[in-house]
Amino acid sequence: MAFEPGTRDDDDLNKRILRISLARLGQLTAEIARKQNGPLRVRSDAADAIVPIRAPSASAYPPLFLMHPVGGSVIAYYQLARHLRPEQPVYAIENQVTFNSAARLYRTVQAMAEAYVEQIRRVRPRGPYLLGGYSMGGVVAYEIARQLSHTDEQVPFLGIIDTPARVAPAEISDSQPALSTHELMLLVSAIAQRADRPVAVTAAELDACAPAERVDYLVNRLKSQQVVPPHVDSSLFEQLVTVVRNNEVAQRSYAPEPYAGPLDLFRAVESSPELEPEIGDLYSDPSFGWQSTCSRRVTINYVPGSHMRVLNQPHVQALGASMQSRIGREVKRRFASAY
């Protein structure tokens, strides 16, 4: 079922974008605060999206490249890497617009994949390639695998973490609605939780502000209480919304084409009510719709947690073990000389 612009479905989608961005902003402000007012991380090369989570050592293990989810951040993959073998190199690809306004956003998954293939080849010019990603990152990893396979490169492992093959299309308005007091108070709660300290801001204070001035007011209050560093401003949130909105459009517009390589789906076993309405009948398909695009049988690996919590403790430990087991099996079977 298609979503029509201006309908309740469109409003729900905009609210979802706001929720993702609010949660990410709360996480970012806590991360920045822990740096004790140090400078924001900005890469010298705006085009370089590669984040070395665990660089190669003397190990012959091929590196695992993980693609960013819809929020653009790859921070959750640091936790996942801890539960892979110590000798397993891990890189991630992120959207850097939040930290670097010179970085590019790509309007389609195909364009993202093409650009990210170039980045991956800078780290590893030739295969075999190990790819993966959570949620939207799984879709990007799938398209990267397709593009690499068309150049006769080997992709012995493609790990898709709780990602459906398709989500409902939707039109997203170019205009961003002003944030409500309720939404901003959810942000205050998220920041307080992650910063592990109370935040003295009330709904009445925010209600007294003009809608367009609420974010600025909140950020200034957070600064005055030293909850966030002095250099954080409302533009950080605006950049987050831009990233999420762009990536939502890209994912919802993507229709996967056939793929002949192996695919591992790591599917969360707990109910995910936020995901079911997005994918309709695919929710009852164990392969989340990937079998219809793959000529080989999709390997379905059930892992603990829900869609929103599969990368959180304690579930991420089982996910890491399952992924590493599948990586070892596939790579050893095809590239025994690499081990």
Is there a domain that residue 325 lies in? yes
Residue with tokens 């490249």: 65
In terms of residue numbers, what domain contains 262?
A: 50-170+250-338
38 in a domain, yes or no?
A: no
CATH number at residue 75: 3.40.50.1820
41 inside domain: no
* Separation of alpha carbons 147 and 153, rounded Å: 9
Is residue 110 a part of any domain in this protein?
A: yes
Angle among Cα 76, 194, 229 to the nearest 5 degrees reads: 100
Query: For 62-96, what is each residue's pLDDT tens digit?
Result: 899 999 988 787 878 988 999 999 889 999 998 76
- Residue 102 falls inside a structural domain: yes
Question: What tens digit of pLDDT does each residue of 185-199 get?
Answer: 766 766 665 566 778
Q: pTM higher than 0.75 for the full model?
A: yes
CA 291 to chain centre: 23
Closest CA to 70 of 15, 11, 16, 33: 16
Residue 9 lies in a domain: no
pLDDT tens digits for range 196-248: 677 888 889 988 988 878 888 888 888 888 777 676 667 766 676 677 778 88
In a domain, 271, yes or no: yes
Q: Is residue 328 part of a domain?
A: yes
Q: How many CB atoms are closer than 10 A to CB 35?
A: 11
How many structural domains does the chain have?
1
Q: Which strands form 50-54's sheet, in the order they lie side by side? A: 50-54, 90-93, 64-67, 130-134, 157-161, 264-268, 299-303
